[in-house]
């Protein structure tokens, strides 16, 4: 009992394990989140366009993705791990993260396409643009800021949930948190938590910047008003 209680934060541990433990955890986390969001976007864009054009599909699509969204994350991770061919590891985590992203992404694709003024589409059609040209040159560019706003929410959510993925061997910053809890070593827990939060905030700001960049016409108007 002569030994001092463990420090709240051991800076020396951080310095010693920075390149071997912390950096790989950050990279792993970014990988998990980025791959999940990327796959989710690739699924959501066509699904959202389809739902926007064929209104009958919108309700079933959101009902299904909404159901996925309600499954508790730890439950979904552990269920996926038991599925043959998935097993322990990042794949189970990525599948779950994709599932969680679909609802918000598809909803924003549809909302973005809906926000395009009807008269803009009418004018485009009246000038002889084909439906494909209207989609790619008018509707999607105008919907893009709303779609990116959805990507922003999905990304922040995914970065948060990904920490739990470490429980099923997904890697990432959650590893630091779980290991720290097991070893009763607060430095690791705090490092993992702070970095995961910082990552979420950084991604949020980055995507906010992208959102603004994609709307030069609105930006110019705001500047003028200021």
Partner 1 sequence: MIEFREVSKVYPDSDAPAVRELSFTIPDGEICVLVGPSGCGKTTTMRMVNRLIEPSSGEILIDGEPNTAMSGTELRRSIGYAIQQIGLFPHRTIAENIATVPALLNWSRDRIRSRVDELLELVGLEPDRYRDRYPAELSGGQQQRVGVARAMAADPPIMLMDEPFGAVDPITRERLQDEFLNIQQNIRKTVVFVTHDIDEAIKLGDRIAILEQGGTLARYDTPENILSEPGSEFVASFIGGDRVLKRLSLTRVGEVELEPPNGEKDLPRIDERMTLRDALSELLGRGAGKGVVTGDGGVRGAISIDAIREMFRTGETPRD
Q: Given the rule CB under 8 A, which residues bind partner 1? A: 117, 119-130, 133, 138, 141-142, 215-218, 220-221, 224
Q: Check residue 88 and report its DSSP letter.
A: S
Place of tokens 């061919």: 85
Min dist. Cβ of residue 180 to partner 1 (A): 48
- Measured from the CB atom, the residue of 131 and 182 that comes closer to partner 1 is 131
Place of tokens 């970014």: 30
- Measured from the CB atom, the residue of 113 and 124 that comes closer to partner 1 is 124
Min dist. Cβ of residue 117 to partner 1 (A): 7
Min dist. Cβ of residue 223 to partner 1 (A): 10
Min dist. Cβ of residue 113 to partner 1 (A): 14
Min dist. Cβ of residue 155 to partner 1 (A): 24
- Measured from the CB atom, the residue of 133 and 197 that comes closer to partner 1 is 133
Q: Check residue 215 and report its DSSP letter.
A: -
DSSP-assigned states of every residue in 5-42: PPPSS-HHHHHHHIIIIIHHHHHHHHHHHHHHHHHHHH
Number of helical (H) and strand (E) elements in the chain, helices listed first: 11, 0
Min dist. Cβ of residue 133 to partner 1 (A): 8
Neighbouring C-alpha atoms within 13 Å toward the C-beta of 52: 22
- Measured from the CB atom, the residue of 54 and 220 that comes closer to partner 1 is 220
DSSP-based three-state secondary structure for 115:
coil
- Measured from the CB atom, the residue of 1 and 127 that comes closer to partner 1 is 127
**CA dihedral of residues 194, 195, 199, 200 (deg, nearest 10):** -30
- Measured from the CB atom, the residue of 140 and 193 that comes closer to partner 1 is 140
Q: Considering only CA atoms, which of 158, 160, 171 is closest in space to residue 23? A: 171
Whether the CB-CB separation of 171 and 90 falls below 8 Å is answered with: yes
């Amino acid at each position: 009992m002569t030994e001092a209680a463990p420090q709240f934060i051991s800076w020396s541990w951080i310095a010693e394990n920075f390149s071997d433990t912390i950096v790989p955890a950050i990279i792993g986390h970014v990988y998990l989140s980025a791959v999940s969001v990327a796959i989710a976007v690739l699924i959501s864009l066509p699904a959202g366009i389809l739902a926007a054009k064929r209104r009958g599909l919108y309700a079933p699509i959101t009902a299904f993705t909404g159901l996925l969204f309600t499954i508790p994350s730890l439950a979904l991770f552990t269920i996926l791990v038991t599925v043959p061919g998935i097993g322990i590891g990042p794949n189970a985590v990525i599948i779950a993260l994709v599932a969680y992203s679909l609802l918000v992404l598809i909803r924003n694709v549809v909302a973005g396409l809906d926000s395009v003024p009807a008269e803009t589409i009418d004018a485009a059609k009246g000038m002889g643009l084909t439906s494909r040209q209207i989609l790619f040159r008018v509707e999607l560019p105008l919907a893009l800021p709303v779609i990116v706003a959805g990507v922003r929410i999905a990304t922040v959510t995914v970065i948060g949930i990904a920490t739990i993925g470490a429980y099923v061997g997904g890697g990432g910053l959650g590893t630091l948190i779980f290991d720290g809890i097991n070893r009763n070593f607060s430095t690791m827990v705090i490092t993992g938590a702070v970095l995961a939060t910082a990552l979420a905030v950084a991604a949020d700001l980055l995507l906010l910047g992208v959102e603004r960049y994609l709307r030069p016409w609105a930006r110019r108007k705001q500047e003028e008003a200021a």
